[in-house]
């Protein structure tokens, strides 16, 4: 089934968002080391985190899901133009407001507007998806991803309540659990399920039959695991036995889904990427390995010794978040853009940009993991701050190169 034609302005806004994410990340790392008196660190951090999610990944996934999963002649196409265009504009506005005001009443209003747009998008897209003849695994993953996008918004709403009531001291546990709930349904829910829906749709669209029931079974188990595995995020507070029991179930289901994914995807990897260049194949492989690592790392947090160390070690938490956000999600999106000729993989600038950026992603991950492991046994050293600053420069340059590569891509999108 042919998807909608890619809109040039959608793609340009999305890739511009990646460049802005790289720039904000570099400013964050620079602010840690240098004074930069005109920049408020907390405001910058809020702008970076919100725009990461809204202006880059959410916007990109909305574009890809509409373009790949919705029929080109869908009557909702005009509505998607408005929804995606508005989402892009609001995400940039939100980034600017957070930079100026930080966590303020106005910035919360703007972020609430963005959340409302995602609600409308989820409703319209789900209605359209139910009318298609997509494979059941693809439909399940796509619909579930949007359900997770909606569920994730309850975390920010609780945090907003805590902010307006000035109750951070009284609701420390609630604040942290709300944040972890949001991250769980974004990272393990919306991001992961949307990417897998795109992946499986591309595999099956190419006429590669599913050799067994592993793909469907994997999709069901992964979706079912999302609620009980949420309780893995609550293990930091030494919860009651009931919470721990649910978390154990979630851990087991996550482990099973990881094994099923390997069995379902491994035989199809080569056929799925047949005809693609080495760079695209490498990026997809890194992305899928990162996804499997994410699943297995989630499982291990149920072990108290490991879980306590992870939740109490900020560099380890950051390494995990970057593993998902950069190594799995961002590299997949970029590889998919190249696969669809949105970034022309035949051009040298595109290949160099993608390789350069991917190398920066891996370098950043190695530094974060090394920092986390070393701080387990000894005090932190300032050398890692400089190394992470260097990695941020690398990533910012790589994102800028990708923007240039997009500008030089001759495509009908």
Decide if 318 contacts 368 (C-beta within 8 A).
Answer: yes
pLDDT given for residue 6 in this prediction: 63
Tell me which of 87, 109, 133 is where a domain ends. 133
The residue range of the domain holding 319 is 308-413
| Residue 214 in domain | no
**Pseudo-torsion of CA 27, 28, 33, 37, nearest 10°?**
70
Total Cβ atoms within 10 A of residue 184: 23
Cα 221 to its chain centre, rounded Å, is 20
Tokens 């994102």 belong to: 399
Decide if 17 contacts 51 (C-beta within 8 A).
Answer: yes
Tell me which of 71, 100, 133 is where a domain ends. 133
Tokens at residue 19, please? 């460049």
Number of domains in the chain: 2
| Residue 196 in domain | no
pLDDT given for residue 413 in this prediction: 44
Residue 363, Cβ density class (10 Å: 0-12 exposed, 13-18 middle, ≥19 buried): middle
Decide if 66 contacts 145 (C-beta within 8 A).
Answer: no
Decide if 199 contacts 215 (C-beta within 8 A).
Answer: no
pLDDT given for residue 161 in this prediction: 83
Tokens at residue 308, please? 């306590």
Decide if 391 contacts 364 (C-beta within 8 A).
Answer: yes
| Residue 118 in domain | yes
| Residue 239 in domain | no
pLDDT given for residue 412 in this prediction: 39
Total Cβ atoms within 10 A of residue 200: 26
| Residue 106 in domain | yes
- Divide the 413 residues of the chain into consecutive groups of 10 and give the mean pLDDT of each group: 62 93 96 89 93 95 92 70 92 94 87 95 92 88 96 89 74 83 94 95 72 78 95 79 89 93 81 79 93 90 70 79 94 94 90 96 93 77 91 96 87 44
pLDDT given for residue 8 in this prediction: 83
Q: What is the DSSP letter of 231?
A: G
| Residue 17 in domain | yes
Tell me which of 112, 133, 154 is where a domain ends. 133
**DSSP character string of 98-163:** HHHHSS-HHHHHHHHHHHHHHHHHHHHHHHHHTTS---HHHHHHHHHHHHHHHHHTHHHHHHHHHH
| Residue 73 in domain | yes
Q: What are phi and psi of 3, to 5 degrees?
A: -85, 180
Beta bridge partners of 3: 71
pLDDT given for residue 307 in this prediction: 66
What is the number of residues in the chain?
413
| Residue 113 in domain | yes
pLDDT given for residue 364 in this prediction: 95
Q: Residue 290: name the closest of 150, 208, 384, 196 by CA.
A: 196
Rounded Cα distance between 76 and 67, Å, is 12
Q: Angle of helix 314-322 relative to helix 304-311, nearest 10 degrees?
A: 90
């Amino acid at each position: 089934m042919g998807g909608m034609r890619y809109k040039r302005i959608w793609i340009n806004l999305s890739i511009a968002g990646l460049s802005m994410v790289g720039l904000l990340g570099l400013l964050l790392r620079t602010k840690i080391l240098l004074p930069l008196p005109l920049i408020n660190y907390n405001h910058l951090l809020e702008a970076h985190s919100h725009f990461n999610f809204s202006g880059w990944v959410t916007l990109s996934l909305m574009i890809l899901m509409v373009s790949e999963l919705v029929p080109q002649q869908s009557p909702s196409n005009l509505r998607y133009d408005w929804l995606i265009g508005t989402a892009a504009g609001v995400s940039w506005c939100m980034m600017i407001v957070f930079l100026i005001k930080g966590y303020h009443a106005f910035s919360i209003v703007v972020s609430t507007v963005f959340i409302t747009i995602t609600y409308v998008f989820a409703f319209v897209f789900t209605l359209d998806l139910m009318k298609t003849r997509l494979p059941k695994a693809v439909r399940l993953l796509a619909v579930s991803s949007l359900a997770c996008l909606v569920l994730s918004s309850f975390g920010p709403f609780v945090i907003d309540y805590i902010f307006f009531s000035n109750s951070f001291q009284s609701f420390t546990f609630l604040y942290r659990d709300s944040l972890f709930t949001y991250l769980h349904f974004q990272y393990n829910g919306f991001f992961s399920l949307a990417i897998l829906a795109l992946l499986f749709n591309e595999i099956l669209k190419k006429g590669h039959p599913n050799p067994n029931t592993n793909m469907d079974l994997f999709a069901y188990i992964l979706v079912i695991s999302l609620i009980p595995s949420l309780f893995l995020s609550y293990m930091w507070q030494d919860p009651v036995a009931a919470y721990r029991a649910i978390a154990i179930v979630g851990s087991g289901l996550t482990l099973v889904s990881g094994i099923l994914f390997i069995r379902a995807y491994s035989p199809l990897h080569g056929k799925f990427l047949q005809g693609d260049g080495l760079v695209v194949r490498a990026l997809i492989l890194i992305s899928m390995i990162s996804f499997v690592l994410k699943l297995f790392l989630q499982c291990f947090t149920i072990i108290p010794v490991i879980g306590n160390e992870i939740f109490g070690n900020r560099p380890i938490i950051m390494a995990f978040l970057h593993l998902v956000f950069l190594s799995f999600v961002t590299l997949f999106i970029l590889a998919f853009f190249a696969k669809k000729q949105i970034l022309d993989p035949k051009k040298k600038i595109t290949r160099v940009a993608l390789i350069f950026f991917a190398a920066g992603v891996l370098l950043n991950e190695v530094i974060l993991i090394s920092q986390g492991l070393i701080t387990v046994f000894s005090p932190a050293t300032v050398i890692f701050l400089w190394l992470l600053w260097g990695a941020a420069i690398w990533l910012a340059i790589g994102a800028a190169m990708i923007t240039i590569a997009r500008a030089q891509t001759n495509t009908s999108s």
